[in-house]
């Protein structure tokens, strides 16, 4: 077919759809749903992937953690006994890492108290109080080891204050705002679990992952001060960082070797502690999103197949309704391939229009999600938008072949006799 003939065939296809708007829309509905689903889910996953990546970068690509338990463990009672009986880490372990690991440059032990771990913290200033704050004790190096902690105003506590267990605190902006409002918190006295502390600094604003707790909800105090206040909390996390990312793996190996020696782990036994890097979060998320993408493609494929069956059904009806037209066209010289191309183009136009509507709905839904739910970021994926449209056209091509072949093979004499 020439370009003019293709243009004419496309015009006929659009005119046919316009004359039967409701039937055409119902036919393409499966394609619309399938395409919109792919684009919406891809946009949400694309946005979440960027969100997770940004959060991992905030933690630091040169930082890893040593813990007693595996990461993201919350049900301690159901753990195997050999894990529950593992020894706690101590501040002396952190010093050993600094002294015995050549590639390790900064270390900070961390003690944490919040809801499930140790109980609720009561932070007060006058009549104002915060009961959802997360209390954390760490060395002054904490802000260097974990880049997510950035002092905005004031300062971090010093080595001297650490050694003497000074009662000083650095607040997240959420805690500071709830306690002081428009007042300048620096230099003012607050009470943390009934004990007076002097505010010496404020952290930069930082919200947590998906609206969860972030630096804004933290109160940081010296490690020794925390240990004296809450000796019942023994769960120490060792946070370790290197200057050069190229030394990351070497530093991990050195840290593992030192800790195995200090914890008297026999050579043939596995580690009795866990080593976790921020990449673990990204890896877990990638595994999860792969499953979500697979499920979405299955659901979308079902929608597209249903839409394709509807397209084939309506095209067979069109062949029957337009039998006389086919006979006239063949009688005046139309070839089989011209008739077949006409019906095949109509099927592809039908699914293509469904794809365009699905793209508009999917993009609109994604933008709405991003505006209405900022904690659930959505970024429209150009790749999946194009792929969705290609898939819609492919459905029309595949399911339009049989009706097109049937129309092309009709005999002119039989067609002209058809009523």
Give the per-residue pLDDT at 157.
95
Please say if the pLDDT value at position 23 is more than 80: no
Same domain, 271 and 351: no
| Stretch 383-392: mean pLDDT | 86
Residue 177 domain boundaries:
61-277
Last residue of a domain, one of 227, 249, 277: 277
Please say if the pLDDT value at position 419 is more than 70: no
Same domain, 105 and 164: yes
| Stretch 174-197: mean pLDDT | 93
The phi and psi torsions of 68 (rounded to 5 degrees) equal -70, -40
Q: Which two tokens stand for residue 185?
A: 């918190």
Tens of pLDDT, residues 329-359: 777 677 777 777 777 878 888 888 888 888 9
Same domain, 248 and 344: no
Per-position DSSP letters for 224-239, written without gaps between them? HHHHHH-TT----EEE
Same domain, 381 and 343: yes
In 3D, which of 261, 305, 312 has the Cα closest to residue 96?
261
Same domain, 223 and 172: yes
In 3D, which of 357, 361, 358, 364 has the Cα closest to residue 378?
364
Last residue of a domain, one of 277, 311, 335: 277
Please say if the pLDDT value at position 271 is more than 80: yes
| Stretch 244-267: mean pLDDT | 88
Same domain, 363 and 268: no
Question: Which stretches within 91-149 are classed as H helix?
Answer: 91-100, 142-145
Please say if the pLDDT value at position 45 is more than 90: no
Higher confidence at residue 156 or residue 377? Answer: 156
In the chain, the number of structural domains is: 2
Cα separations in angstroms, 169 against 147, 228, 340:
18, 15, 78
Cβ contact 149:232 at 8 Å: no
Cβ contact 234:69 at 8 Å: no
Beta-bridge partners for 106: 241
Cβ contact 107:93 at 8 Å: no
Same domain, 344 and 391: yes
Count how many residues are written for the chain: 419
Higher confidence at residue 93 or residue 60? Answer: 93
In 3D, which of 292, 257, 297, 271 has the Cα closest to residue 384?
297
Last residue of a domain, one of 244, 277, 310: 277
Q: Is the pTM of this model over 0.85?
A: no
| Stretch 236-252: mean pLDDT | 87
Give the per-residue pLDDT at 41.
82
Cβ contact 218:35 at 8 Å: no
Hey, how many other C-beta atoms are within 10 angstroms of the C-beta on 235? 16
Same domain, 219 and 70: yes
Mean pLDDT of the chain: 82
pLDDT tier for residue 285 given thresholds of 50, 70 and 90: low
Cβ-proximal residues to 392 (8 Å cutoff; 6+ apart), any chain: 31, 34, 35, 304, 351, 352, 354, 355, 358
Please say if the pLDDT value at position 116 is more than 80: no
Same domain, 173 and 294: no
pLDDT tier for residue 375 given thresholds of 50, 70 and 90: low
CA 94, CA 404: separation in Å to the nearest integer? 75
Same domain, 133 and 154: yes
Tens of pLDDT, residues 62-78: 788 998 887 666 556 66
Same domain, 268 and 399: no
Same domain, 46 and 68: no
């Amino acid at each position: 077919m020439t370009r003019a003939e293709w243009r004419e065939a496309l015009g006929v296809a659009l005119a046919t759809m316009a004359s039967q708007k409701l039937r055409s829309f119902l036919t393409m509905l499966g394609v619309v749903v399938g395409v919109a689903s792919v684009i919406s889910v891809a946009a949400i996953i694309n946005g979440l992937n960027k969100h997770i990546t940004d959060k991992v970068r905030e933690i630091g690509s040169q930082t890893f953690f040593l813990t007693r338990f595996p990461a993201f463990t919350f049900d301690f009672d159901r753990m195997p006994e050999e894990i529950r009986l593992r020894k706690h880490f101590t501040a002396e372990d952190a010093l050993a890492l600094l002294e015995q690991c050549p590639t390790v440059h900064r270390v900070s032990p961390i003690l944490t108290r919040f809801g499930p771990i140790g109980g609720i913290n009561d932070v007060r200033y006058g009549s104002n109080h915060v009961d959802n704050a997360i209390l954390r004790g760490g060395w002054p190096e904490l802000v260097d080891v974990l880049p997510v902690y950035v002092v905005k105003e004031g300062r971090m506590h010093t080595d001297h204050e650490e050694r003497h267990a000074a009662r000083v605190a650095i607040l997240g902006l959420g805690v500071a705002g709830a306690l002081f409002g428009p007042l300048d918190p620096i230099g003012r006295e607050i009470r943390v679990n009934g004990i007076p502390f002097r505010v010496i600094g404020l952290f930069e604003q930082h919200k947590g992952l998906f609206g969860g707790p972030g630096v804004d909800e933290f109160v940081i105090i010296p490690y020794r001060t925390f240990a004296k206040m809450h000796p019942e909390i023994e769960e120490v996390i060792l946070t370790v960082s290197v200057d050069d990312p190229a030394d990351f793996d070497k530093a991990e190996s050195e840290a593992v070797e030192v800790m195995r020696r200090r914890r008297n782990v026999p050579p043939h036994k596995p580690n009795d502690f866990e080593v976790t890097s921020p990449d673990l979060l990204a890896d877990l998320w990638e595994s999860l999103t792969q499953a979500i993408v697979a499920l979405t493609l299955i659901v979308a494929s079902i929608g597209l197949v249903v839409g394709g069956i509807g397209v084939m059904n309506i095209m067979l009806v069109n062949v029957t309704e337009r039998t006389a037209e086919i006979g006239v066209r063949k009688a005046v010289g139309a070839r089989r391939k011209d008739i077949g191309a006409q019906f095949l183009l109509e099927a592809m136009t039908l699914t293509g229009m469904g794809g365009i509507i699905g793209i508009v709905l999917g993009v609109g839904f994604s933008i709405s999600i991003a505006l209405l739910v900022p904690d659930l970021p959505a970024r429209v994926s150009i790749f999946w938008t194009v792929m969705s449209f290609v898939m819609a056209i492919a459905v029309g091509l595949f399911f339009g072949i049989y009706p097109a072949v049937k129309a092309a093979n009709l005999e002119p004499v039989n067609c002209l006799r058809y009523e």
